[in-house]
Structure formats: C-alpha cells, structure tokens
Amino acid sequence: MYSINGEEFKTKESLKRLIQQILHAYQPEQLLNETDYRFMLGVLDMHHSSDIKKGVGVQSIFVRENPTYKRNRGFWIKRIDGTVIDFSFIECISQRDDKTRFSNACRNAVREHIILFKNHNLKHDSICPVTGVNLTKNNVHVDHAPPNTFDFIVKEFIRLKKIVVKHVKLIETDEIIGGCFDSKNLSESFVAFHNSTAELRLVSAHANLSEIKIKENQCKKNNVPEFSRIDRIAIQEKI
C-alpha cells in the first residue's frame, strides 16, 4: 500500500501508471500545475536522497527531455536558489537495496573512463556488432561485452575484496547522481579492477537496452555460468 498526500494506491503499478500519466501530460520545460506539483512533491518525499534533491527548497517541478535520448523524459526540480536537478520517480517508489546502491557508485566511479572510451572509439563508419546499424552520437551506448558484464565485474569485485556492501559509505551530490564512494581508495580500486577486466564495445542503444539484456536475463534464468578471466587476473595481482 502506498499513500501520497492522503491518496492511497494498493499496488506500486497503479501508482506508477498515474505518475507516468502526469509525466506525459506536459510538454518539455512545462511546469506542473498546482495539483500535480503537490502530488509529485509527495512522491519526491519517498526518495532516499530527498533532502539533497530539494536543497534549499523546491520552487517548482517541470518535465524535461533527456538531452541525449529525446524519447526519454523525466521530472526536474527548480529550487528556490535557481538551481535545477532531476529525480527518478522509479527511485522514489522502488527503494534501492544496498547492492544496487553500491553498483550505482561503481558506475559513477568509471563514468569518465566510459565517456573517454566512447569519444575515442566512435568513428563515422562505426557499426553496432549486435544489430548492424550505423552508430552515431545519438544512438551509441558503451556495453560491457559478455561474459564480463558490468554486473558480473561488480559482483566479483565484492567477492574478491570481501566487501560488506551495507557498511560502505556512499555520498550523493548534485554533480553525482546515484551516489559515489566516500572512500577515494575504494573508488580508485574499483576503477583499476574494472579497467583490467572489462572488454568494452560500442553498440546501439536498442541493442544495449533490449537485445543484450534479454540474452543476459536468459542466461541467469537458465543458470548458465559466466566464465571470465577475472579470477586469473585476481590471482596475478593478488587482490
């Protein structure tokens, strides 16, 4: 049961449908009306970092398109001091567990390396190895080629380092959405581990968000083991 400003929802899906209706009822950059604004403030209160998102105080909430993927849109906050920041309603209604938050911090740790890889390797004649379509700045994603998927690398890092994720301190700021490691040493350690094991490749957004994920989920469902070179590297570097 979910309760937003006195309005009750029996299931998460019913709440999600209403939020999506609000999201798509507005044009990009359009402010929410008073009723929807108050409702989404109630949703925002459920966010694990709601205080950080609100900052000095919320002046308004509006809809904005993703600057890279125009078909995606989301809710943005304009604060009293004029600063703006987005927030995910999915984060609000689906509280992340410790492992998910740790994984997000890992993604933020290697974010710059991923961007550098994309910028360095994207050429005018780049082709997606999964779908065969031409890759451009508007449709390219960086994928971790199997078997060393990003999730697998994170799990191996946790296992080999014997990390208890619930004890890892994470911080979140306007500049780093999704959280990052408070420990610089831990962040640098993961970056080094990631860069020594990941096999990055450029794929289309469609391939990365659908076809590849479907195959990965099928492997997990069928309990297909993922064989990697991580253990060999770990032994060599005595992690």
Q: Given a cut of 50, is residue 102 above it in pLDDT?
A: yes
pLDDT over 70, % of the chain = 83
pLDDT at 66: 76
In CATH, the architecture of 2-93 is Roll (3.10)
CA distances from 54 to 30, 88, 141, 198 (A): 19, 13, 31, 36
CA count, 13 A, side-chain hemisphere, 164: 2
pLDDT at 68: 60
Per-residue 3-state assignment (H helix, E strand, C coil) for the chain: CEEECCEEECCHHHHHHHHHHHHCCCCCCCECCHHHHHHHHHHHCCCCCHHHHHCCCEEEEEEEECCCCCCCEEEEEEECCCCEEEECHHHHHCCCCHHHHHHHHHHHHCHHHHHHHHHHHCCCCCECCCCCCECCCCCEEEEECCCCCHHHHHHHHHHHHCCCHHHCCEECCCCCCCCEECCHHHHHHHHHHHHHHCCEEEEEHHHHHHHHHHHHHHHHHCCCCCCCCHHHHHHHHCC
Tell which wins on pLDDT, 226 or 195.
195
pLDDT at 67: 66
pLDDT in tens, 106-123: 999 999 999 999 999 999
- Most confident range, picked from 94-108, 178-192, 205-219: 178-192
**CATH 3.10.450.40 domain extents, the chain:** 2-93
Tally of CB atoms within 10 A around 44? 20
pLDDT in tens, 30-57: 999 999 999 999 999 998 888 889 999 9
Q: How far apart are CA 223 and CA 228, in angstroms?
A: 15
Tally of CB atoms within 10 A around 48? 14
List, in sequence order, every residue forming a beta bridge with 78; answer none if it has no partner. Answer: 60, 84
pLDDT at 226: 43
Q: How far apart are CA 141 and CA 207, in angstroms?
A: 9
pLDDT at 224: 43
Sole residue written with tokens 């309990």:
223
Q: Given a cut of 90, is residue 173 above it in pLDDT?
A: no
Instruction: Give the angle subtended at the CA of 168 by the CAs of 165 and 170, to the nearest 5°.
Output: 120
pLDDT at 213: 52
pLDDT at 84: 93
Confidence of residue 76 (pLDDT cuts 50, 70, 90): very high
Give residues with Cβ within 8 angstroms of 216, minimum separation 6.
Answer: 146, 149
Q: Angle between the 98-109 and 150-161 helix axes, to the nearest 10 degrees? A: 110
Give residues with Cβ within 8 angstroms of 229, minimum separation 6.
Answer: 148, 197
Nearest to 206, CA basis, from 126, 135, 144: 135
CA count, 13 A, side-chain hemisphere, 12: 8
